[in-house]
Amino acid sequence: MRIRRVRSKLKKAAAIDKHAGLKIFQPETTSFSSEHLYQMLYKHSMLYIKPEGGTGGAGIIRVGLTNHSTSYLLQKDTFSERWDQFDQLYARLSHFIGSKKYLIQQGIHLLTNNKRPLDLRIMVQRNKGDAWEMTGMLARVAAPRKVVTNYHRGGTLHQVDSVLRQYADSNRLQELKKQLEQIALLTAKHLNKHFPTLIELGIDIGLDKQLKPWILEVNTQPDKNIFRFHTNKKLYSKMMGYVRYQILKRTLKKTQANPAPQLLSKTKPKPFAAKEAARVRPALSPAPPVPIPLLISKD
């Protein structure tokens, strides 16, 4: 049985927006268009342009206002461009996007580590008791000059305490991690109401300068391999064990709900059964003899 994957970032964002307690932690998100780009840019000054169904941080572009809102900066991978007119910026974005579906997300000025943006990947899974459980948390730091933190785009992995202790003392850090766990679990439970077949989520949460959490993205088929680098070497095995258990459980449930049709037996009937059948079956009358034609010889 395959795990259902919800690819659409807009659908997941729309679902989160329906929960008042979660909406305050989600950056404003909308579909990509010239009108939405202009409105969002002058509302938030910095935006992320993301593939609507992309994964791994591929294709993400950051745009922002510079020089007192008189020019526009576009950053993709490790290069950047500056444009003086909005139409130029939109034309350039349209060149990168082509016919693909993209979205616009409010940019968050994230905490940094060595002047590089950082965020957190939090894993939540259905455990063997079928309850949602946080099974791991790692920090991700962007590669030099890159706008995304993803490991597969050159980002580096760190233990959460090691990168956040510069922003919070021990007590505040424990409170913050508890809050992050509560947000992650609430996100999983709420999204599961909209997408009932979910068994795990990889939730990317960023922190701004005031340590406010922001739900940047929710992945419904997250890469668990990054947790091989966690100091707790048992985490990865635990995660994979939960996945295997849930898949097996749902496969068995599906099999029981749709049993295979019974095949007709090809075995020969037992001797006594054949005799009994012959006893009750009416005997057939013998067929009349076929007349033999007479041959007349000619002299």
Q: Which residues contact 209 (CB under 8 A, 6 or more apart)?
A: 109, 111
CA proximity to 148, closest of 57, 42, 234: 57
93 touches 49 (CB < 8 A): yes
Residue 5 is predicted with a pLDDT of 83
Residue 262 is predicted with a pLDDT of 63
The yes-or-no verdict on residue 283 having pLDDT over 60 is: no
Question: At 64, phi and psi to the nearest 5?
Answer: -160, 165
The enclosing H or E element of 170 equals: helix 170-194
Window from 158-162, 229-233, 260-264 with minimum mean pLDDT: 260-264
Residue 175 is predicted with a pLDDT of 97
Residue 257 is predicted with a pLDDT of 74
pLDDT confidence band for 253 (50 / 70 / 90): confident
pLDDT confidence band for 24 (50 / 70 / 90): very high
**For the residues 248-253, what does the mean pLDDT come to?**
87
Identify residue 272 by its one-letter amino acid code: F
Which position has the higher pLDDT, 89 or 266? 89
Q: How many CB atoms lie within 10 A of CB 283?
A: 6
pLDDT per residue over 59-104, tens digit each? 899 999 987 778 999 999 888 999 999 999 999 999 999 999 999 9
Could you tell me what percent of the chain has a pLDDT over 90? 70
Q: How many CB atoms lie within 10 A of CB 33?
A: 12
Q: Average per-residue pLDDT in the chain?
A: 87
Give helix 9-17 / helix 170-194 axis angle, nearest 10°: 110
Q: pTM for this one?
A: 0.83
Task: Round to whole Å and give the CA distance between 292 and 131.
Answer: 87
pLDDT per residue over 146-179, tens digit each? 888 888 778 999 999 999 999 999 999 999 999 9
Question: At 242, phi and psi to the nearest 5?
Answer: -65, -40
pLDDT per residue over 116-142, tens digit each? 999 999 999 999 999 999 999 999 999
The yes-or-no verdict on residue 228 having pLDDT over 60 is: yes
Which position has the higher pLDDT, 144 or 124? 124
Query: What is the number of helices (H) and of strands (E) in the chain?
Result: 8, 12
pLDDT confidence band for 264 (50 / 70 / 90): low
pLDDT per residue over 66-76, tens digit each? 877 789 999 99
**For the residues 186-215, what does the mean pLDDT come to?**
96
